[in-house]
Structure 1
Amino acid sequence: MSGQSLPAFWVLVPAAGVGSRMRADRPKQYLQLAGKTILEHTLDCFLGHPGLRGLVVSLAADDPYWPTLSCAQDPRVRRAEGGRERADSVLGGLSRLIELGAREQDWVLVHDAARPNLARSDLDLLLSELADDPIGGLLAVPARDTLKRAGADGRVLETVDRSPIWLAYTPQMFRLGPLRRALVDALAAGAAITDEASALEWAGAAPRLIEGRADNLKITRPEDLDWLRQRWSAGR
């Protein structure tokens, strides 16, 4: 892709979850980080990119926090109705993108609402590496720690070879039509879909892994937010 422009893309952020493991008084995407909510920082990762065609956030129908954010009034950002599971929220967001003019072969980047530390360099790397890919792929990081398989008694059964193991991050980048069909078919079959790549895998495709930065952290527990606050206060 050297010397070529990056592809245009749409962004979909499923944000209907409650984040119970954070033990907070609101969904984790609305917790404060450096003067803004986590969700606002997450959207900022994309809103300054010239290739962005539009951005959809899938939200719970009774979400009282979203209307209070300034980005809710940004014309580049549209709301979709989220669902009980991530896949439901993504499907709702894809339908909204179609209403906004997205086409079957347009790229859609699905990104976690609570992953606000995406580096612009990683975003550009994903776009450039997958621009002409027939399937698409995702940012990921090779496993670095020793892996143990546990038994029912909580004791180690064996040490697992970590060399082929990767940690799946986001954004995950696929074309709208194939992603939508894979999600619909997988859910109809009762398949366990934990991310967009797993839907494509279920459909028989092999998404490409693009190595990104390990600090593209998903905030899941209180210590994750504490770590990110400290890092940002130190200038990242």
Structure 2
Amino acid sequence: LKEAHDPVQTIQINSLFPHLLARLCATAGCRLIHISTDCVFSGSRGMYTERDVADAYDLYGRTKYLGEVTAPGALTVRTSIIGHELFSRLSLVDWFLGNTGGTVRGYTKAIYTGLPTVVLARETARIIDAHPSLQGLYQVSSTPINKFDLLKLINETYGSGITIEPYDGFVNDKSLDCSRYIAETGYRMMPWPEMVDTMHTDFVQTNYQGKTHV
């Protein structure tokens, strides 16, 4: 999106808005759960903790870091997501499945610890019900997997027949350490095959607009 390169709009949405929303929530006496991103880190080393200094050098990463809310009554969940879109096919999963019968690259040295959106949604519901006083910044992540293996797993689960060529020319590791969150909440990391199967089941059962692959 061209708006993503506009510093004024990006700062207003990513940095300022979460803090304004937190203030409104505090005034109304309600809780805020804000979702942040692993992109606050550059990906130069991986297994980042909440105590590590955010070292992103791009506009998106820097502004998302500034938008992380740690005020009383606010919870910021730092994570990353994959999943199906409603109105486009630009993100990883739908872009990949749009190449049915074709060939794509799979990055063997790009390490990922995000979650399918349906899995994160269920975990957020659990936080709301079981941990109503949890606040501050916590990282919620999964077992590290490289993008090549992740695409292979999606390919097998969805039966897409896509050829994935391993590619090691891109190196990036934004993996997040969520041991602090596990200790606080008893969070269980789902194995990747289980998470991708959950994502696929949700996709089959949900009427996503323009659905063309099952």
State TM-score, norm by structure 1: 0.30
Q: Which has the higher helix share?
A: 2
